[in-house]
Amino acid sequence: MKNEQILSDLNRIQSLFTSNKSDNDDLISEINELVNRVKSSVSALTPDQSKDYHFYKNIFEKAPVGIVSYDSFGIITACNDSLLDLLGSQHDKVVGLCLLDLPDKQIVKAVKKSLKGHKSTHEGFYTSVTSGKTVPVNAIFHPIQNASKEPVGGIGMIEDISDRYAAREDLIKSEVRYRSIFENKHKVMLIINPDTGFIVDANPAATQYYGWSIEELKKMKISDINTLTPDEIQEEMQKAKASKRNHFLFKHRLSDGSVRDVEVFSGMIELQGKILLYSIITDVTERLKNQKDLLKLKLGIERSKNIIFITDKDGFFQYVNPSFEKVYGYTFKELSGKTPRILKSGKQEDRFYRKFWDTILDGDVMTGEVINKTKEGELLTIDFSSNPILDNDGHLLGFIAIQDDITERKVMDIQIQQSLEEKELLLGEIHHRVKNNLAIISGLLEMNLYHTDDESIKEMVRANQLRIKSMAKIHEKLYESETFSNIPFREYVEEMIDEIEQIYKSPGLKLDINLEIEPLVLNINQAISCGFILNELVSNSLTHAFSGRSSGSISVSLKKVGNRLSMSVEDDGVGVDEQFNFEETNTLGITIIKISSMQLGADLEMFNTGDGLKTVLTFEINEKQKGSSGSLVN
């Protein structure tokens, strides 16, 4: 019997099993008859045919995919165990089931197509009507035809594609995650073809950072942005492609022409079947600048001659610079777990330290001097500044102290102070002796007055006495002052005019002296020169301006205008003759005025006012003494 007959008989057996039109006895009888015929047919197979039959039967039963056989009515006539496992069902529930009655319309459509002689496929989720199990499947239905090419049934091969679906779901989720990450507006990302260097894609953050649109960026190469040469860029991309390196520091060019430092993390990604390079870009311009600034600060602190150390907020050492180790003798390792109390000398009172901590814990800077002790026990005088370290929110992080060892300076200061005190004592003694010597000279001149009746000689002697006294008064004021270099000039003028008035004022003359003198301080040279000029001018007024009069007035004014002194002496006397020429007059008094004004570098005017004579002198005030007062001798 031919194989077609065997298949036909088997199909008929299965049909009878599902038929409800015959009585049970007749059905059983017919089934037995058909089974016997099949057995006879199988027995009639040749050895080769039998071998083929068992070979294909073995494939059918052990195939890793589910196989189902159905007749021309779509009724399942056979299935293997792989199909039952796939559906989670049993043999007796599957065989005899009509595929055309399934609720899955896509399966029904595919089976119908095969019964019309065409191969059909279906992929999707299938829910078993016998077990309720849902599984993703890939089904292929092949038509079975007789010798006349007429469809007599079909075979379906059903594959469980759960793993593929899971992988696909994972891929979809991965792509969603990738897209959400890529479209992040905070991290700059570029997708680059490592072979050509073209930018394949860019995210919104990239457009915001670089200043080009996404479409513009996709027309550019990475070499249009990276400042390296194309060859250098290609070399770096190949390193990333080979996973030899994934972290880079580059300089990137923006659309406005500016160049920024960037940190790039790169890796490979497969998109649409292509291996591409993704880059996550972070602007580190400010970070690198801050790092350089911190490096400069660190080098500055480490190379500073000042002692610098940092503690935490509890006072424990966190850092000391080399100058600290050199001056105090402690290494940083030795200071581990210790506080600056290790430097206490015991020379400071407790209230000093209470004030110290109250100040810096309030967030203020504490400065001053303290005596500290080195590792070897040596006492040092330290000039210090202790500062709290606060974060941007004002929270205390720790403290930084900057110190300077001023031990040697303090010793020198004491020596200098002692030297100054000695010099001041010596200068005081010198001025005292000069004043006394000038007084002796004035006294000697006074003695000469008793040996002459010549009024001209007496007048000359008195004039010279006043000149000597004007100098002596300067030294007297210097002796009384604290600086030994600057004269309180107002007091000097007032006392000097009193003495001139006592000597030159005529009996019966009612004299009105007006003083407008600002508080001034002149150095000794300028004070002596000004004293000479005032002495000559006031003496001259008292001697010549009020002859034959019963009253008169003299005004003396000293005013500071900027850094210049304006001094004027004015009387309401007879004035000077119209023929008087100051420059050509060479009397002793005028000569003294000329020389003294030259020493001051002064501008001097002498003129009649209509009511008397006025002399105006202006010169620049020098706070520091320059050389000696000079000589009055031409």
pLDDT in tens, 373-406: 999 999 999 999 999 999 888 889 999 999 999 9
Do residues 144 and 176 both lie within one domain?
no
Domain with 313 in it: what CATH number? 3.30.450.20
Dist CA 574 CA 276 (whole Å): 112
| The two three-digit tokens of residue 5, written as one number | 């007959």
Lowest mean pLDDT across 114-123, 362-371, 385-394, 467-476: 467-476
Instruction: Provide the pLDDT confidence category of residue 285 given band limits of 50, 70 and 90.
Output: very high
Q: Is the pLDDT of residue 628 over 50?
A: no
Lowest mean pLDDT across 133-142, 243-252, 622-631: 622-631
Residue 97 region by backbone torsions, left for phi larger than 0, else alpha for psi between -120 and 50, else beta = beta
Composition of the chain by helix, strand, coil, percent to 5: 45, 25, 25
Instruction: Provide the pLDDT confidence category of residue 241 given band limits of 50, 70 and 90.
Output: confident
Please report the pLDDT score of residue 179 as a whole number: 64
How far apart, in Å, are the Cα atoms of 272 and each of 175, 200, 506? 11, 12, 125
| The two three-digit tokens of residue 397, written as one number | 């992080």
Q: Is the pLDDT of residue 47 over 90?
A: no
Mean pLDDT of 479-494: 65
Instruction: Provide the pLDDT confidence category of residue 171 given band limits of 50, 70 and 90.
Output: low
Assigned domain for 385 exists: yes
Do residues 143 and 18 both lie within one domain?
yes
Do residues 270 and 343 both lie within one domain?
no
Please report the pLDDT score of residue 18 as a whole number: 46
Q: Is the pLDDT of residue 23 over 70?
A: no
Q: Amino acid letter at 434?
A: V
- Report the predicted TM-score, pTM, of the whole model to 2 decimal places: 0.39
Dist CA 311 CA 398 (whole Å): 6
Instruction: Provide the pLDDT confidence category of residue 328 given band limits of 50, 70 and 90.
Output: very high
Please report the pLDDT score of residue 27 as a whole number: 45
Residue 391 is classified by DSSP as -
Q: Pairing between strand 564-571 and 613-620?
A: antiparallel
Dist CA 480 CA 240 (whole Å): 88
Assigned domain for 414 exists: no
> Tens digits of per-residue pLDDT, 439-456?
666 665 666 666 666 767
Mean pLDDT of 135-155: 88
Dist CA 15 CA 29 (whole Å): 14
With a CB cutoff of 8 Å and minimum separation 6, the contacts of 463 are 539, 588, 589
Of residues 414 and 127, more confidently modeled: 127
Q: How many structural domains is the chain composed of?
A: 4
Domain ranges, residue 598? 485-620
Mean pLDDT of 458-465: 66
Nearest to 538 by CA among 495, 483, 486, 500: 500
Final residue before a domain boundary, out of 160, 180, 206: 160
Do residues 196 and 331 both lie within one domain?
no
Highest mean pLDDT (candidates 367-376, 406-415, 481-490): 367-376
Assigned domain for 225 exists: yes
> Tens digits of per-residue pLDDT, 531-558?
888 888 888 888 888 888 888 999 999 9
Q: Pairing between strand 307-312 and 317-320?
A: antiparallel
Assigned domain for 34 exists: yes
Do residues 107 and 143 both lie within one domain?
yes
Are 136 and 167 contacting, i.e. CB atoms less than 8 angstroms apart? no
Dist CA 317 CA 469 (whole Å): 69
Mean pLDDT across the chain, nearest whole number? 80
Do residues 138 and 8 both lie within one domain?
yes
How far apart, in Å, are the Cα atoms of 365 and each of 139, 307, 372, 388? 84, 17, 19, 7
Do residues 19 and 134 both lie within one domain?
yes
How many Å is the Cα radius of gyration of the chain? 60
Do residues 174 and 276 both lie within one domain?
yes
Do residues 9 and 153 both lie within one domain?
yes
Please report the pLDDT score of residue 256 as a whole number: 95
Q: Which residues pair with 404 in a beta bridge?
A: 383
Instruction: Provide the pLDDT confidence category of residue 28 given band limits of 50, 70 and 90.
Output: very low
Q: Is the pLDDT of residue 134 over 70?
A: yes
Instruction: Provide the pLDDT confidence category of residue 247 given band limits of 50, 70 and 90.
Output: confident
Torsion over CA of 286, 288, 289 and 295, rounded to 10 degrees?
A: 140
Do residues 175 and 154 both lie within one domain?
no
Final residue before a domain boundary, out of 381, 405, 429: 405
> Tens digits of per-residue pLDDT, 71-127?
989 999 889 888 889 889 998 899 999 999 999 999 999 999 999 989 999 988 889
Lowest mean pLDDT across 260-264, 510-514, 533-537, 621-625: 621-625
Final residue before a domain boundary, out of 160, 184, 211: 160
